[in-house]
Structure 1
Amino acid sequence: MPVNFCLEVSGDYACFTRPEMKVERVSYDVITPSSARAIFEAILWKPAIRWQITRIEVLNPINWISVRRNEVGKVFTAPTAKQLSGQSTEPMGFYVEDERQQRAGLFLRDVKYRLYAELHFDKAKDMNSDYGKYAAMFERRARKGQCFNQPYLGVREFSCAFRLVDESSIGHEPPPISEDRPLGWMLYDLDYSDRHNPMPKFFNAAMEQGVIQVPAWDSEEVRG
């Protein structure tokens, strides 16, 4: 029953950070399935459903930009009960100037993708009774540009625009770039079967004529 929904997303900048880079932010060449899934979830998310990315089409040439930014190297923690009651002399915050770090980042610029995803249900009985309702809800929200939170391209400061691509008009849309490129092992998503210790999953991605075929979550191509 699941059918593909298609979104066209675009933005001035994007950063799909490689996890092997510990200090500097370096982006993958293209959007990752987990980032694409987050865009669909920003438009419609319910506990009973999940989005499976099936295909990524790269519409703009892959261009890079190097940016040096100021970041804070410390996480702000909530004040304790003793601090709130005045029993502790430790400060509740910290000075940004003392924790500021300058880091370089290698980002993507002028990105545009077509993302294909299937709507799945965790339980078969939910799929039989509610699939049409949730599919219509997603189409209505995407067509109007509605979202629960602003979708972004990898990091929250790089917001993206999106529009729903109708199945009837896909053949009239601009084609992907005509480029083949091996992308190597790319982050697929996080496995939350153990909520206290989520594990990353990877797949060996390749772009053929601007198209990346994304395997299913439970396929042998996806490895931990």
Structure 2
Amino acid sequence: MGYGVSLHVSGDYALFSRPEMKAERVSYDVITPSAARGVLEAILWRPAIRWVVDRITVLNRIEFESVRRNEVGSKIPPRNVSAAMAGSKVDLHQYINEDRQQRASLVLRNVAYIIDAHFVIIPEKAGESDTPEKFYNMFLRRARQGQCFHNPYLGCREFAAKFRFVEAQGERPISYYANDEDYDLSWMLWDIEYEQKEFKNKTLYSFNPRFFHARMVNGIINVPSEVSL
């Protein structure tokens, strides 16, 4: 197990989309573990480490707001991309004015969380100089200085996240739900596992979403380290 870190994350809006909602986007009540991991990876990502989210503390009251956003209604087909890579002349453009769709979204507003996490070393990808102390100090330096590989976001790229490293226990704000003993958040996306397989000289990609039953006790969600299918 690697060194533990605590990160204060906040933003004006957030959208952690529920996969069961097809046409319109509806957010989970709180940040998902996979989205929390994405914030950590935006600050420090290395092939030799894997971030594991331990706890999520919900600091602000859960509030929703309905907004309408312009979205593109289609994607560029993968076969067109493959044909272009093979040298064929195909159109890879997306024409926004012709493919624009306006959709409603139920988003969170004024969110703030504390993410408690640790990282583990991946032996097959780690070099001789890749030690837990090395990556821990790298994260400390980058988080303290506000450095990141790309700006972290809260579910959608347009909802930017602000972050700061929590140095000591006394710097942790008190949760709005600190006196609520039990808050059932129902089933929530834990993470998505991607698999790569070779089949008949072709590379096939698949993904397996995993869910867990989230419960918030005194404002804290304990995230399981493993979730079975």
Question: If the TM-score is normalised by the length of the shorter chain, which range does it land in?
Answer: 0.7 to 0.9
Aligned residue number for residue 137 of structure 1: 138
**Structure 1 143/94 Cα, relative in aligned 2: closer, same or farther at 3 Å?**
closer
Q: Distance in 2 between matches of 1:127 and 1:216?
A: 27
Count of paired positions = 212
Aligned residue number for residue 13 of structure 1: 13
In structure 2, runs of 5+ residues without a counterpart are 198-204
1:44-123 mapped onto 2 (5 Å cutoff) = 44-76=44-76, 78=81, 80=84, 81-83=87-89, 91-123=91-123
Q: Is the 8 A contact 2:3 2:136 kept in 1?
A: no
1:139-158 mapped onto 2 (5 Å cutoff) = 139-158=140-159
Give TM-score scaled by structure 1 length. Answer: 0.88
Corresponding position: 1:214 with 2:223: yes
Aligned-residue RMSD, C-alpha:
2.1
Q: Is the 8 A contact 1:183 1:206 kept in 2?
A: yes
Aligned residue number for residue 185 of structure 1: 187
**Percent identical residues:** 49
Q: Is the 8 A contact 2:68 2:104 kept in 1?
A: yes
Aligned residue number for residue 33 of structure 1: 33
Q: Is the 8 A contact 1:9 1:113 kept in 2?
A: yes
Aligned residue number for residue 86 of structure 1: none
More strand by share: 2
Q: Is the 8 A contact 1:56 1:113 kept in 2?
A: yes
Q: Is the 8 A contact 2:56 2:113 kept in 1?
A: yes
Letter in 2 for 1:72: V
Kindly state the Cα deviation for residue 170 of structure 1 after the two structures are TM-superposed.
1.6
**Structure 1 181/127 Cα, relative in aligned 2: closer, same or farther at 3 Å?**
farther
Please give the secondary structure, in 2, of the residue aligned with 1:157: strand
Letter in 2 for 1:117: A
Deviations 1:185-215 (A, max 9, x none): 1000011244610100111001111110001
Q: Is the 8 A contact 2:70 2:100 kept in 1?
A: yes
Q: Distance in 1 between matches of 2:23 and 2:70?
A: 13
Letter in 2 for 1:82: S
Letter in 2 for 1:70: N
Q: Distance in 2 between matches of 1:4 and 1:129?
A: 17
Q: Distance in 2 between matches of 1:163 and 1:120?
A: 22
Kindly state the Cα deviation for residue 70 of structure 1 after the two structures are TM-superposed.
1.3
In structure 1, runs of 5+ residues without a counterpart are 84-89
Q: Distance in 2 between matches of 1:33 and 1:120?
A: 16
Q: Is the 8 A contact 2:144 2:164 kept in 1?
A: yes
Corresponding position: 1:223 with 2:222: no
